[in-house]
Structure 1
Amino acid sequence: MATPKQIQRLRRSEGTEKFIQALEQDGGVIIEDFADVAVVEQANAEVKPWIEEQKSSNGAKVGALGGKTRTVTRLVMRSPTVRDKFFADPLYQALCEHFLALETTTWYGEKAQVNTSHPLLSISIAFDIPPGTPAQGLHRDDKNHHARHTQASQYSRNRDMLLGLFVPGCDTMRANGATRVIPGSHLWGDDKPDFGPDGTKDVVDAELKKGEAFIMLGSLYHGGGAYAEPITSNPEAESRTVYAMFSCTGVHRQEEISFLSYPVEEVKKYSRIVQERLGWKQSEPNLGWVDLKSPEFLLQE
């Protein structure tokens, strides 16, 4: 049996273009030096109280996704570190611009108009996954946008409408359910995929050390791995926490409805890039306005 294609591991110093090439070729890439371990620990400290709130009175863990997985939504609001160090990371945002920004030329009478629609934050969420969690079925995250795909031999610009960023709060490995991916599956069409008789054909594990991150196109087939047994004698301390952020094109509906989730007074405190990615800037030429104006004026009132 042929060895499955592996995910490329790159460092920031190799340049944005290398990351673009890896994503176009494989559909996903690992950033080896995404964040300092101390920064990840700070995010863990900020998010942990929200995770602990989800324990019921009898100690059972609950989560919106069913089973024992606990989730923390509105993550960009609830963790300043996730917001400012992970989501606003310049490399991730540069990749979002490359893959998700839309530029079109239209005509207004005799005059050509070039307009750009910039990406939006679609969802920011933390997953806290304990031992005893089964593997997810392999899937594409752009299903929520009813995305359609054609089989392709090479990547073409604006093929995708989502770009995800996964930052682990701990070392993630096959034993504790690291995300499984099929490199190259972002180029598949919409016919029923061949995952093999045991569902593992061409699947590799996106194993990450704390401080690394995985960036993935929304069209890539992937799924959380099985976390069957605790690794040590203290399963309560062994949940696998992952911070996930997805950005979408500026003309698609966001999965998390930012305007209903983030109070205006809170958004006023954020950096401009985060404000814009939440939707507080009009998508040119005329999408997302308030009183016929780009909505950032509301943040100045």
Structure 2
Amino acid sequence: MPTLPRLSRSQPLSDFIQALEKHGCVLITDFTDPETVAQANKEVKPWLDGQGQAGAKVGALSGNTQTVTRLISRSPTVREKFFADSLYQSLSEHFLTLKTTTWYGDEARTGQSDPLLSIAITFAIPPGTSAQGLHRDDKNHHARHVAASEYSQGRDMLLGLFVPGCDTFRANGATRVVPGSHLWGDETPDFGDQTSTVVDAEMKVGEAFIMLGSLYHGGGEYAKALENASSGEMERRIVYAMFSCSGVHRQEEVSFLSYPVEEVKTYSKVVQDRLGWKQSEPNLGWVELKSPEFMLAA
């Protein structure tokens, strides 16, 4: 039975890189603290409570799951404590930054494209939700994969961060993952009987899970209520999901239409950059032939 690598954020960045290259995923045992997660839950609660019982039917969502979109705006805690987290951003830069040298006449010029936020969303999954089919999230970008025995830089275009809003375990549908599947090709995947290939990414509040976009995974079955919700609360498994993409790919969420400029001015610099308010060198994403951050200073 494969296991998930579990690391403390105090360990060197190289340990996280090695775990992601080998397994395609890593679990951080002390990503945040319960108080910070509780604050995020408080911020998204009005957006969840304002919805009906019917959920989204798009992609891998079957209609049971409630969602909170435009999450960067609706939860400052998710924005500045989870997405902007230095460890996650460092890993995004390592795996997704593109640096290319091209020739302009007889001069070699090197340009750098930094990662962008592709999507930030809350999932609230209730009892009665069936398991998702195992899938890769980079399907949205029509990614192609060649089988490999070891990881090579530039292989991936997405890096995901999952922060649970409650304890997650097999009984309430913890995400199922297939460690090592990020090295598979595009042939029909062989999951065997799944007992020897698939692992439940069970997490306590305060932990987090990071995975490459090429890793096969899927939400688990949440067959019945566990009756563990607080009095007056609806039982559900809450997950905050954020994906970064390489800076030359189209973002899943259209950030420029989601977040007003005046609001973006209040965000931290790293979040502004990751929303696309910084040019991808040499000439991608400009406004009036200039890198767009000048609009945030106006």
Q: Common fold, TM-score beyond 0.5?
A: yes
Residue type at the aligned position of 1:141: D
Instruction: Give CA deviations for 1:127-160 in whole Å, capped at 9, x if unaligned.
Output: 0000000000000000000000000000000100
Aligned counterpart for 1:293 among listed residues 290, 294, 298: 290
Aligned counterpart for 1:189 among listed residues 181, 185, 191: 185
Runs of 4+ in structure 1 over 3 Å off: 198-201, 233-237
Instruction: Give CA deviations for 1:255-280 in whole Å, capped at 9, x if unaligned.
Output: 00001111111101001100000000
Residue type at the aligned position of 2:166: C
Q: Does residue 1:130 correspond to 2:123, yes or no?
A: no
**C-alpha displacement of 1:297:** 0.8
Query: How many Å separate the matches in 2 of 1:120 and 1:218?
Result: 14
Aligned in 2, Cα 1:254/1:166: closer, same or farther, shift over 3 Å? same
Residue type at the aligned position of 1:293: K
Q: Does residue 1:271 correspond to 2:268, yes or no?
A: yes
Aligned counterpart for 2:163 among listed residues 167, 173, 186: 167
Residue type at the aligned position of 1:300: A
Aligned to 1:63: 56
Aligned counterpart for 1:177 among listed residues 173, 179, 193: 173
Query: How many Å separate the matches in 2 of 1:82 and 1:113?
Result: 37
Q: 1:169–1:242: 8 Å Cα contact kept in structure 2? A: yes
Q: Does residue 1:228 correspond to 2:223, yes or no?
A: yes
Q: Does residue 1:218 correspond to 2:175, yes or no?
A: no
Aligned to 2:198: 203
Q: 1:264–1:299: 8 Å Cα contact kept in structure 2? A: yes
Aligned to 2:107: 111
Residue type at the aligned position of 1:63: A
Q: 1:194–1:201: 8 Å Cα contact kept in structure 2? A: no
Q: 2:158–2:213: 8 Å Cα contact kept in structure 1? A: yes
Residue type at the aligned position of 1:275: Q
**C-alpha displacement of 1:287:** 0.3
Q: 2:115–2:246: 8 Å Cα contact kept in structure 1? A: yes
Q: 2:119–2:253: 8 Å Cα contact kept in structure 1? A: yes
Query: How many Å separate the matches in 2 of 1:187 and 1:66?
Result: 28
Aligned counterpart for 2:249 among listed residues 249, 252, 262: 252
Name the SS for the 2:138 alignment partner. Answer: helix
Query: How many Å separate the matches in 1 of 2:122 and 2:194?
Result: 26
Aligned to 2:38: 41
Aligned to 2:79: 83
**C-alpha displacement of 1:63:** 2.7
Query: How many Å separate the matches in 1 of 2:262 and 2:275?
Result: 14
The within-5 A match list for 1:149-168 is: 149-168=145-164
Query: How many Å separate the matches in 1 of 2:228 and 2:170?
Result: 18
Aligned to 1:24: 21
Residue type at the aligned position of 1:29: V
Aligned in 2, Cα 1:233/1:103: closer, same or farther, shift over 3 Å? closer
Instruction: Give CA deviations for 1:42-83 in whole Å, capped at 9, x if unaligned.
Output: 00000111111112xxxx343343422100011111100000
Query: Please, what TM-score do these two structures have when normalized by structure 1?
Result: 0.95
Q: 1:117–1:250: 8 Å Cα contact kept in structure 2? A: yes
Name the SS for the 1:49 alignment partner. Answer: helix
Q: Does residue 1:243 correspond to 2:236, yes or no?
A: no
**C-alpha displacement of 1:233:** 7.1
Aligned in 2, Cα 1:233/1:151: closer, same or farther, shift over 3 Å? closer
Mark the runs of 5 or more structure 1 residues left unpaired by the alignment: none
Aligned residues: 293
Query: How many Å separate the matches in 2 of 1:31 and 1:238?
Result: 25
Aligned counterpart for 2:89 among listed residues 86, 93, 100: 93
Name the SS for the 2:293 alignment partner. Answer: helix
Residue type at the aligned position of 1:263: P
Residue type at the aligned position of 2:212: L
Q: 2:228–2:235: 8 Å Cα contact kept in structure 1? A: no
